[in-house]
Amino acid sequence: MYFNRIFEFTKVIDTDKFNKIINSVYRNLEEVEDGYADYSVSSKGITFLYRDSQYRKKITVIVNAALLVDCNSDADVFLVKLNKCCCSYFKRYALDDFTLMGFTAIADINVGRDKVGDYIAILKRIGKVKGFTPKDYDGIKGFCLDGNSNNTLFKIYDLEHCVRKYTDNSSKCFSGILRTEVKLTKAKAIGKYTDSESTTCKIAELWKKSQEVFMDTFVKIVPFGDFYKKDAAVEIICKNVTDLKSQRQMLWLVELIPAKKSLLLAQKALGYRKIKCIMELFAEINLSPVTISKRCSVKWLEGVYSFFV
């Protein structure tokens, strides 16, 4: 499984300093909403954004780690290369002069081209998730959630469809890939994983904890287990769960999810205090409570967690 990281840094500066930097790189600038963008070193995974607001001038640096260093590199190699690029570009500013404001952990799950649409359809049946609001993005065919107050974004989508929508790239390497992103959008969210003062130390810690960041959100959203049609799921529960009370709760939850169009709302409608225990029982028998739609031609889909092994 391919794993990547994207970092976002910002710095607010006064008008004179902002204009000096703009003048030094103006040949590379392209006009974008609220300012300018410099893609001159995008081949190294670095994009510079300049927000030219009347009240506040801000520089944002977005870094795609996979384009700056290879997948086997550690945080030290990444930091040396990134700091060198920043110093070379800005002359007067180094990495620690910026504030880390965003971090994205990315995992590409290869489910096969013929199954991407089926996985997206079943994942969308999860519906509403506690702390998140469903969100649609133009050009993205997938299941996306916006954190209400946790400063976290979650996306899982058809990578090939997205690449073809926005670029001319027709490479087959994107085929069959479910790209999954967990983005921490504010310094407060980042602070849960690092209490370091300097930007470089924060990067080093997040680099090491990036899979933890990813899984902390992923497990809150996607239930464990393989996906089946409802009739097959009922049969599996009856065969493998001997405690009749637990069995009834599990069967009723499977019935409620399509009706409520949400795993969360179905859990609430179930009104069972030990819902965590019920979800653990589903995991024990490797069955997702979210079932495949009657309209879908497939009868079984392997649980997404199996691709992480």
* Angstrom distance (rounded) from CA 220 to CA 222: 6
The verdict on residue 119 lying in a domain is no
290: containing domain: 227-308
At residue 35, does pLDDT exceed 80?
A: yes
At residue 171, does pLDDT exceed 70?
A: no
Cβ 72 vs Cβ 201: under 8 Å: no
Give residue 7's identity as a one-letter amino acid code: F
Same domain, 164 and 80: yes
Same domain, 205 and 231: no
At residue 218, does pLDDT exceed 80?
A: yes
Same domain, 231 and 272: yes
Same domain, 239 and 185: no
Same domain, 156 and 249: no
The verdict on residue 264 lying in a domain is yes
At residue 125, does pLDDT exceed 80?
A: yes
Same domain, 48 and 140: yes
Same domain, 103 and 246: no
Give residue 43's pLDDT: 93
* Angstrom distance (rounded) from CA 178 to CA 307: 11
At residue 172, does pLDDT exceed 80?
A: no
At residue 170, does pLDDT exceed 70?
A: no
Same domain, 144 and 286: no
Give the count of domains, the chain: 2
Give the N- to C-terminal CA distance of the chain in Å, as an integer. 8
At residue 309, does pLDDT exceed 80?
A: no
More confident residue, 161 or 239: 239
The verdict on residue 239 lying in a domain is yes
